[in-house]
Amino acid sequence: MSRTETALVIGGGIAGPVAATALRKAGIDARVYEAYPGPAFTIGSGLALAPNGVAALDVIGAGDAVRDIAVPVPRMCLSVGGKLLPAPSLPDQPPLQLVDRGELHRVLHERAVAAGVPVEYGKRLVAADHTAAGVTARFADGSTATADVLVGADGIRSTVRRLIDPAAPGPDFTGMLGFGATIECDIATPDETIVFAYGKRAYYLYWPLGDGRIGWGANLPSAEYLSLTEARATAPERWLEILRDTYGEDHPGGPLARATTPEQLEVTGALHIMPSVPHWYRDRMVLIGDAVHAPSNSSGQGASLAIESAIQLARCLRDLPDLETAFATYERLRRSRVEGVAARAAKINHSKTPGPVARTLMQLIMPIMARTMNPEKLAGTEQRYRIDWAEKVL
């Protein structure tokens, strides 16, 4: 059994509350420290949870609560040149679950609190000191906290990643900016289907919400990198002008953009993908989620992988006798999986930003690909992954 008794979890987004809840389940006193002044229930837009991610949430008793706020989408289509091409899926797997990111944060936060996890806000990590007995986190407000381990769940701009390795790579820009909205628009959409659409100038996706509304998202090509703050400094009216110009000739991209109001537009800024991170842990610090593996939104697995890693780390700390062995085993369990997903996502990113010649070729090739793609090869290993909480980690 592990001698780990206490843990500081830095970051209260998705991975952080899941990790803290799983650590509590493993008998470890975990606390969450979040830099924002309060719960981030209004940040971000929609995301998809794959079957493996929802199954991982079942381990900590959060799966049903997430299903209650999600829209199940059992079918997928590609749209190329305005033609819908059904994409094969795994018939024996549950559907994708589309959730609002803010609502997901709320549910995971409530589950963590119900499990006894204390959450402190306004705690921006600036440094960490190690001793033989523990690690002390130092926050920007002058306060400190000490525990046996420090878990970095602090996102793609992770401070913990830099503390572990000052030379660690940061996220790469995919060359796209993210936008989303939930709207009312009088267009025909396939029932219970998410459509991945390759427009004349840019990629977008859309799906019916089952109540007359439609969710849609845009991946806008951009030579300029804009952070979330920088992107939101531009008025939403201006972004809508750009989106309507970019997607105006597409159907239903044009109607979707024109039906979106400034109040409905969700601006998420630059879309990222993490390169391989050489060092996942050092001393008493370890990374999970986007802090160490963010495979870009093209994967459809970012949140699911973060949830998996949080739970697998808790199992390793529960079962293994020392931190070095626990951290090394955790990395062994996770690295090849998450980097494989990231590699697949990187290939998809290239298809979202094709030049004029490649765009023409795609209209010829995509119908063939849709008919011949092997869903087992594409998604079988990813979506069938399940964590056995009761099994001891060796």
d(CA 331, CA 279): 9
The span from the CA of 297 to the CA of 273, in Å, is 8
| Segment 341-367 mean pLDDT | 70
- Give tens-digit pLDDT for 258-310: 999 999 999 999 999 999 999 999 999 999 999 999 888 878 899 999 999 99
Q: What average pLDDT does this structure show over 55-70?
A: 97
Is the pLDDT confidence value at 359 over 70?
no
- Spell out a b/e string for 243-264, using b for 16 or more CB atoms within 10 Å of the CB, else e: beebbeebebbbbbbebbeeee
**Rounded distance, CA 134 to CA 7, Å?**
10
In the predicted model, is pLDDT for residue 76 greater than 70? yes
Residue type at 186 in one-letter notation: D
pLDDT beyond 90 at 347: no
Residue 373 has pLDDT above 80, yes or no: no
pLDDT of residue 371 exceeding 80: no
Residue with tokens 């659409």: 197
Extended strands (E) in the chain: 6-10, 29-33, 46-49, 71-73, 75-80, 83-87, 96-100, 119-120, 125-130, 135-139, 144-147, 149-152, 172-184, 193-198, 203-208, 213-221, 266-273, 281-282, 285-287
Kindly tell me if the per-residue pLDDT of 357 is higher than 60: no
CB 274 within 8 A of CB 295: yes
Beta carbons of 26 and 315 less than 8 angstroms apart: yes
User: What's the pLDDT at 13?
Assistant: 94
CB 47: neighbour CB atoms within 10 A? 20
Query: How much is the pLDDT for 40?
Result: 72
Structural domains of the chain, ranges and CATH numbers in brackets:
6-71+97-171+274-351 (3.50.50.60), 172-272 (3.30.9.30)
Under the banding of pLDDT at 50, 70 and 90, the label for residue 222 is very high
* Weakest-pLDDT range from 41-55, 56-70, 359-373: 359-373
Pairing verdict, β 213-221 and 172-184:
antiparallel
What is the pLDDT, as a whole number, of residue 42? 62
Computed over every residue of the chain, the mean pLDDT equals: 92
Q: Which residue has the higher pLDDT, 308 or 361?
A: 308
Mean pLDDT computed over 226-248: 97
Give the H/E segment covering residue 19.
helix 15-25
Say yes or no to pLDDT of 171 above 90.
yes
Query: Within its chain, how far is the Cα of 66 from the centroid?
Result: 15
Q: What is the pLDDT of residue 322?
A: 95
Q: How many other C-beta atoms are found inside a 10 Å radius of the C-beta of residue 377?
A: 8
Q: Which of 83, 157, 123 is nearest to 367 (CA)?
A: 83
User: Any idea which residue has 């969710």 for tokens?
Assistant: 215
- Assign 370 a pLDDT band (cuts: 50, 70, 90): low
Do residues 7 and 20 lie in contact, with contact meaning Cβ atoms separated by under 8 Å? Answer: yes
